[in-house]
Amino acid sequence: GPLKPEITITYIAVSAIFFNSGLSLKMEELTSALMHVKLHLFVQIFTLVFFPTAIWLFLQLLSITPINEWLLKGLQTVGCMPPPVSSAVILTKAVGGNEAAAIFNSAFGSFLGIVITPLLLLLFLGSSSSVPFTSIFSQLFMTVVVPLIIGQIVRRYIKDWLERKKPPFGAISSCVLLMIIYTTFCDTFANPNIDLDKFSLIIIVFIIFSVQLSFMFLTFLFSTRNNSGFTAADTVAIIFCSTHKSLTLGIPMLKIVFAGYEHLSLISVPLLIYHPAQILLGSLLVPTIKSWMVSRQKVRIALTDVERKTAV
């Protein structure tokens, strides 16, 4: 149509999002979290290794069901995605968790995702013989990495102005992302031959919420063990960063990796559902997680006081 998504979305919109991210990303905030290596390893391994592997094993069971196979493949793409740029940070901040760790893992995960996510997608869903591997990375480099770097360079020169004016970076990215989502939905439902039955769609929505809850509970259990070494604030960052997936990087990446693929629209549907679902579920759980964190911190303070009095 007149929007020309093959140009405006594939190149201009995606580049705009990551240039905007480069402008808004405060690298100085990441240095304070840099040394918390154990937490970063936990989040990145869970997100980019355990998550896609667990989804793959789960899909082996679901493959014998009548659920639309392309929606199931779409679930696999969700598992391969890196952490999101914003939602995990926003929810971690709302609870009062380790915001610096959330910022670091969101940014670092996005950088890792540029390389690792295409490899995971090709491993689970395709092969280098059918997908132009070099063109994938060259396009990702030009539309993701280069704008991000340019944004960071520009930020250095206009940093004071940005601090004074505080441009609405989140709103800008959201508007561009909304345009990307709109064109993706148009691609999905403009196809008269689309085979999307209501049963499969409802089941996929149920599975997405179940996966999110299960993985949030799993990360909670792992990060609160006695020998984990994580504080309550660390656990909050881990829960959100490990289980949330990036739509900002995900949709453009799917369009690049599976360009011209006739079932691309159906494959994109689970990610389009997962993104609002993770925000909705996370927002609903904020009061519960916050009350747990506060009580955990009070217990820790009380134990510290007891130890201090005993020592005296």
Domain boundaries, the chain: 5-286
What's residue 128's pLDDT? 40
What's residue 59's pLDDT? 92
Mean pLDDT on 94-110: 81
Over pLDDT 90: what percentage of the chain? 18
What's residue 254's pLDDT? 80
CB contact at 8 A, 241 and 36: no
User: How confident is the model over 61-85, as pLDDT tens digits?
Assistant: 988 888 888 889 999 999 999 887 6
**Could you give the CA distance from residue 140 to residue 115 in angstroms, rounded to a whole number?**
9
CB contact at 8 A, 46 and 26: no
Q: What's the pLDDT band for 129 if we cut at 50, 70, 90?
A: very low
pLDDT at 210 over 90: yes
Residues in the chain: 312
Ranges of beta strands (E only) in 182-281 are: none
Three-point CA angle 230, 232, 233, nearest 5°? 95
What's residue 133's pLDDT? 59
CB contact at 8 A, 48 and 109: yes
Residue 35 parent element (H or E)? none
**Could you give the CA distance from residue 116 to residue 263 in angstroms, rounded to a whole number?**
22
Lowest-confidence pick of 163-167, 190-194, 199-203, 223-227: 190-194
Nearest to 155 by CA among 8, 16, 26: 26
Does pTM surpass 0.95? no
Largest CA distance in the chain: 78
Distances (CA, A) of 271 to 6, 78, 85, 281: 20, 6, 15, 15
User: How confident is the model over 239-292, as pLDDT tens digits?
Assistant: 999 999 987 778 777 877 776 677 777 888 898 889 888 888 988 898 898 898
Nearest to 68 by CA among 226, 256, 207, 232: 207
CB contact at 8 A, 271 and 208: no
5-286 CATH: 1.20.1530.20
**Could you give the CA distance from residue 57 to residue 66 in angstroms, rounded to a whole number?**
17
Mean pLDDT on 210-236: 90
User: How confident is the model over 9-26, as pLDDT tens digits?
Assistant: 556 776 776 777 677 766
